[in-house]
A and B are shown apart, each in its own frame.
Chain A
């Protein structure tokens, strides 16, 4: 018996040019159609078995959140049907309808009431919410003084205090700190062991891979992939890369407008930057340690010596992670006359920690870009590193490491004796 059956599901939103059109439509009792229809989701079919863990991925506006709202029941479908069995607990975006003027405890009690718990049950579960959220004194403070992370802790603790049959989590985990995220994941895992069905929306492929055995990929309101997270995420990456490529082309077309990120004297310029994986396909998501090739197309505008090409990887916070240039790498310079282009290709394994990184590229005459720049293109593309098949680690670098465990002999322990 499946836990969730979605049949031919469709949800449309009406869009009116202004409110008068809406009024005209109402007054004419629907005779005049004055709205545009936009299908946020259409022709969606899938079933979820009991205890399955499903990751839902897709770009912004793909229809993920709409699907969750339909599953939770806060909004109604225009077509098709949804059948669910069992109690649903949902963390849609942030919070679960909290009121800022009331204390954390009040809000938790209210959240339980909305979940349909009665007074005695709430009294019974409150200490558990208190314990799990670890908010301490803050629990009796108004929610106004909470940070987003604390609100999320309270929301998660209250929503999951009773094991639901279906747990729906929309991006909520991403605001908690690492410690609480681990706690949440542990609780989700134990629910899964007891048979809870999980639906998990995330932009973080790493989280989807760790929690889910199946993934659904949505794009422009359609379900385009349903399968193993690995395969689905690969397909997703291809979509992102395709979009990303279009973006770089657009950026070049609007180059003049991007003066902040493009700078330089202009004797040579970067025409295009692409990042491809080992099968020469443009990609924006790589596994830890995966080979990547950065290809920079450079045009020489004036008669100059062949410029050095430099790359710089930065993490999400803008810290330099790794940078080098063709001079340091002893690349053989080429004689290229004005008006011609050449390619600089950097081939490297991405031995980086899991996270988002940006790539900047620079052209300069000397050893470094510090003296003079022909062209400097900040953050020309962004890519993501997700857990690979090797060992787990933390931090921003994946250092080659080996470990051996040796048993000590008794006389080794105290050499003085």
Chain B
């Protein structure tokens, strides 16, 4: 029993050690990805801050002041904006990763064809680069909360394990999609369309409690629903999330990662031939 589990783990460990040896390469790729986006602009990486600032400003100030949208049970004009940001920022963290996963190998075709390096570093690069984007936006949001006196408190730390589970699940699914998309390029398009529907079946712009019971039980089948509502509770009510209710999500994330990994291992030889 112990022997067979070592056999299964061995390729995983080999790849982890390869990624660790290539940590400078991963760091370089993440940095390059970040800079590449702003390389032709005068302000450079200042845009990385201006963009999310505009976003936070629009959702909080404009939505609350102009549209005067309210959240039931919270006596604060800013509440809807905060609700929106809590869901939307986490959603864009998710959709950024999932949306880019299908192209993960295709985009690096030039590299994969010419240089032999551990290919398993590419998902890691993508994971970190989307995480940095999220960290920037979320930090700006937190600064805004702090300045406007609405900083939620320690329950923010409870978001970290949830975000991790959410993104590891996404990465697992995304790796499978990335591998398959090399052979069937339709997958990239399907994911883009699916994400649009997914957005609206997730309670991001609407609170889940305005839905009828029947609709609500449908929406709760969406694995993201529990995550997003937990973030909203943290931001609005400083309510520590109930971590034990995420055990199935954690299991799902592990299964997704293993599936993605196995698929990748099975087909990694064919990927280069197909690019």
Establish whether residues A101 and B269, one from each chain, have CB atoms under 8 Å apart when the complex forms: no
Does B114 belong to the interface (CB within 8 Å)?
yes
Question: 26 A-B pairs, CB-CB below 8 angstroms?
Answer: A19-B184, A22-B183, A26-B183, A69-B272, A72-B116, A74-B113, A74-B115, A74-B116, A75-B272, A75-B273, A76-B269, A88-B116, A90-B114, A97-B110, A101-B40, A102-B32, A106-B32, A110-B28, A110-B29, A113-B24, A113-B25, A114-B25, A114-B115, A114-B117, A116-B22, A117-B24
Q: From known contacts A13-B273, A19-B184, A23-B184, infer whether A74 and B114 are also in contact, taking CB-CB under 8 Å.
A: yes
The list of the 7 closest CB pairs from A to B, nearest first, reads: A76-B269, A73-B116, A97-B111, A113-B25, A97-B115, A97-B114, A75-B272
Does A92 belong to the interface (CB within 8 Å)?
yes
Give 13 A-B pairs besides A74-B116, A116-B21 with Cβ atoms closer than 8 angstroms: A73-B116, A74-B272, A76-B269, A88-B116, A92-B114, A96-B114, A96-B115, A99-B110, A102-B32, A102-B36, A102-B39, A111-B115, A113-B25
Which of B22, B110, B116 counts the most chain A CB atoms within 10 A? B116
Does B88 belong to the interface (CB within 8 Å)?
no
Q: How far is the CA of A267 from the CA of B271 in the complex (A)?
A: 59
The DSSP consensus for interface residues of chain B is: helix
Q: How far is the CA of A106 from the CA of B115 in the complex (A)?
A: 16
With both chains docked as a complex, state the minimum distance between the C-beta of A199 and any C-beta of chain B, in angstroms.
Answer: 15
Establish whether residues A101 and B21, one from each chain, have CB atoms under 8 Å apart when the complex forms: no
Residue on B with the closest CB to A73?
A: B116
Residues of A within 8 A of B272 (CB): 69, 74-76
Which of B21, B25, B39, B114 counts the most chain A CB atoms within 10 A? B114
Residues of A within 8 A of B250 (CB): none
With both chains docked as a complex, state the minimum distance between the C-beta of B22 and any C-beta of chain A, in angstroms.
Answer: 7
With both chains docked as a complex, state the minimum distance between the C-beta of A383 and any C-beta of chain B, in angstroms.
Answer: 33
Does B112 belong to the interface (CB within 8 Å)?
yes
Mark interface residues in A61-93 (1 if CB within 8 Å of B CB, else 0). 000000001001111100000000000101011
Mark interface residues in B73-116 (1 if CB within 8 Å of A CB, else 0). 00000000000000000000000000000000000001111111
Q: How far is the CA of A118 from the CA of B23 in the complex (A)?
A: 9
Q: How far is the CA of A26 from the CA of B116 in the complex (A)?
A: 27
Number of interface residues of B (CB under 8 A): 24
Residues of A within 8 A of B112 (CB): 74
Does A195 belong to the interface (CB within 8 Å)?
no
Residue on B with the closest CB to A40?
A: B273
With both chains docked as a complex, state the minimum distance between the C-beta of B124 and any C-beta of chain A, in angstroms.
Answer: 14
Residues of B within 8 A of A117 (CB): 24
Q: How far is the CA of A107 from the CA of B146 in the complex (A)?
A: 41
Q: How far is the CA of A87 from the CA of B56 in the complex (A)?
A: 50
Does A409 belong to the interface (CB within 8 Å)?
no
Q: How far is the CA of A106 from the CA of B32 in the complex (A)?
A: 9
Does A51 belong to the interface (CB within 8 Å)?
no
Q: How far is the CA of A267 from the CA of B99 in the complex (A)?
A: 70
Q: How far is the CA of A116 from the CA of B272 in the complex (A)?
A: 20
Q: How far is the CA of A118 from the CA of B111 in the complex (A)?
A: 19
Residues of A within 8 A of B114 (CB): 74, 90, 92-93, 95-97
From B24, B29, B117, B183, contact of A118 by CB (8 A): B24
Establish whether residues A75 and B25, one from each chain, have CB atoms under 8 Å apart when the complex forms: no
From B24, B36, B116, B268, contact of A119 by CB (8 A): B24
With both chains docked as a complex, state the minimum distance between the C-beta of B115 and any C-beta of chain A, in angstroms.
Answer: 5
Residues of A within 8 A of B36 (CB): 99, 101-102
Q: How far is the CA of A106 from the CA of B268 in the complex (A)?
A: 28
With both chains docked as a complex, state the minimum distance between the C-beta of A32 and any C-beta of chain B, in angstroms.
Answer: 16
Residues of A within 8 A of B184 (CB): 19, 22-23
Mark interface residues in B101-137 (1 if CB within 8 Å of A CB, else 0). 0000000001111111100000000000000000000
Residues of A within 8 A of B39 (CB): 101-102, 142
Residues of A within 8 A of B21 (CB): 116
Residue on A with the closest CB to B24?
A: A113
Q: How far is the CA of A122 from the CA of B24 in the complex (A)?
A: 11
Residue on B with the closest CB to A118?
A: B24
Q: How far is the CA of A90 from the CA of B111 in the complex (A)?
A: 13
Q: How far is the CA of A143 from the CA of B253 in the complex (A)?
A: 40
Residues of A within 8 A of B40 (CB): 101
B162-197, CB < 8 A from A: 183-184
Residues of A within 8 A of B111 (CB): 97, 114
Residues of B within 8 A of A122 (CB): 24
B215-262, CB < 8 A from A: none
Q: How far is the CA of A101 from the CA of B32 in the complex (A)?
A: 10
Q: How far is the CA of A122 from the CA of B28 in the complex (A)?
A: 12
Residue on A with the closest CB to B268?
A: A76
Q: How far is the CA of A113 from the CA of B21 in the complex (A)?
A: 10
Establish whether residues B269 and A75, one from each chain, have CB atoms under 8 Å apart when the complex forms: yes
Residues of B within 8 A of A72 (CB): 115-116
Which of A90, A109, A110, A142 counts the most chain B CB atoms within 10 A? A110
Residues of A within 8 A of B115 (CB): 72, 74, 90, 96-97, 111, 114
Residues of A within 8 A of B117 (CB): 114
Establish whether residues A113 and B116, one from each chain, have CB atoms under 8 Å apart when the complex forms: no
Residue on B with the closest CB to A12?
A: B273
B2-19, CB < 8 A from A: none
Q: How far is the CA of A23 from the CA of B185 in the complex (A)?
A: 12
Residues of B within 8 A of A142 (CB): 39
Residues of B within 8 A of A22 (CB): 183-184
Residue on A with the closest CB to B39?
A: A101
